[in-house]
Amino acid sequence: MFDATQMMLVVGVLLGLVFLGTHIAVALGITSALGIYLMMNGDLEVVRSFISNTAYEAIRDYIFAVIPLFILMGEFLARCGAASDLFTLVNRLTKWLPGRLGIATVFANAIFAFVSGVSIAAAAAFSRIAYPEMKRYGYDRQFSLACIAGSACLGMLIPPSVLMIVWGVITEQSIGSLFLAGIVPGFLVVTAYCVYIVIFAIRNPALVGEAAAPGVVSVTASGTAVAGRGGPRVAAVAPVVEDADFRKTLVGTLLVLVLILSVLGGIWFGVFTPTEGAGVGATLALFIAIGRGMRLKEIFDVVLTVGRTSAPLLLLLVMAQLYSRVLSMTGITGAVQAFFLDTGLPPLAILGIMILIWFVLGCVIDSISIILLTVPVFAPIAAALGYDPLAFAMIGIIAIETGLLTPPFGILVFTVKAALPQENLSVGEIFRGAVPFWICLLTVIVLLIVFPQIATWLPNLGKVGG
């Protein structure tokens, strides 16, 4: 066991490396090696053996294949135009709603989240799909960009989420149960987003192309332009977007829904494990992509992209497992747990401190890194306080996801800006617009704390393999 000085040294080295900009995998590896070195009184052979054995056991773990397979599934569908079809269809079905293009963006992102597993892909795709339509129909730019960035968060909140997979690997929880636990909270976020968009549209119709403000041009359903007072300045329109090939769009969307139900339903009913489900999903997505005209060169590009995306994630997970073992062996986890429990603070206050730490870290580092750094310590504390592991996981994932919309890091904000270079956007504009979406995420966190059954109800309906 470590003494207090050695514990402070290990934690200090880790935090120092992270804030100096060292890659999180390297920082975790160096810190873990240092911890083993100090614990074994400088025996380098033990350090080498421990690291190599941990890496070998992690790499050969069957569950690790779930990440590249789910990312592969999402990439196939994104590249073959499924995201565009989803937006077009939902847009047509929600034509009666105020702020329908914002609603369409949220719902299309929610459905796409079931096959993508990552938020950045959704932010990039819908920046190019949804924003031109919003601009065309006179939507306020800040509101439009915020809808895209905020709804892209759903990629990490709705299964199959990479964050859920990472959380499951780190805590040794059932990934299938985590997937099911994320469905109801994910749809709560969707509902909160939609309520905000409808309220915004009702209160500000001119900002969502549904009323002709002074000096604004409206366009009738027949395409006739009518200028408001002061002459024409910008276009605000409210006609329905008609799809010339609606049947093809409908069939493509139904195929995606069948894929989602096949994968998640198979996992839920125990037909296959999450890893097997990911393999089935990737195969079905490949068939759909080929059926929609994807060529061999494009398939190869998808596989290459997935390899480039997955390799760093797998390295991170190997280092995270090493880091988690070192924390446990050296007694750091137990010491932190004892510190929190000995403060005498009520469980709700300790949970609030953990959420606050996630918010602060979300301002400076990415979501996966936050999980790798904090969850090995926080999860045992939450268990000791009596919080359900699944509910705590959903609270943590949503809290960590708020970092995707939080300055100065806010990776989704920068993704949206990079996807629209021709618009000359400022990140500050998108951050300001995203504040209501951040509040929606916070509201769902509060609901999960008060009603943990929101996360546990669906997994408890049946036994799920992990």
**Exposure b/e, 342-359, CB count within 10 A at least 16 = b:** eeeeeeeebbeebbebbb
**Tens of pLDDT, residues 373-421:** 889 889 999 998 999 999 999 999 999 888 888 877 677 888 888 888 8
Per DSSP bridges, beta strands 225-227 and 234-237 are unpaired
What is the predicted pLDDT for the residue at 300?
Answer: 92
**pLDDT at residue 460, rounded to an integer:** 85
User: Both tokens of residue 211?
Assistant: 């009323």
pLDDT tens across 259-277, in order? 888 888 888 787 888 888 8
**130-154 per-residue burial string, b: 16 or more CB within 10 A, e: under 16:** bbebbbebbbbbbbbbbbbbbbbbb
pTM of the model: 0.79
**Domain residues of the chain, as ranges?**
1-60, 61-461
Task: Report the candidate in 16, 5, 28 with the shortest Cα–Cα distance to residue 335.
Answer: 5
Token pair for 230: 């002061």
Give the Å distances, CA to CA, from 63 to 132, 334, 440.
40, 27, 33
Question: What is the reported pLDDT for 130?
Answer: 87
Q: What is the Cα 263 distance to its own chain's centre? A: 19
Beta-carbon contacts of 228 under 8 Å, excluding residues fewer than 6 positions away, are: 212, 213, 214, 215, 216, 217, 218
Question: What pLDDT is attached to residue 413?
Answer: 85
**β-pairing verdict for 216-219 and 225-227:** antiparallel
CA-nearest of 395, 312, 389, 408 to 354 is 395
| Contacts with 45 (C-beta within 8 Å, 6 or more apart), sequence order | none
pLDDT at 122: 79
Segments of the chain scoring below 70 in pLDDT? 1-4, 58-59, 61-63, 117, 210-245, 409, 462-466
pLDDT value for 245: 65
**Cβ neighbourhood burial of 3 (10 Å; 0-12, 13-18, 19+):** exposed
Q: What pLDDT, in 10s, does the model give residues 121-153?
A: 778 878 888 888 888 888 999 999 999 999 988
* Distance in angstroms (rounded) separating the CA atoms of residues 259 and 66: 16
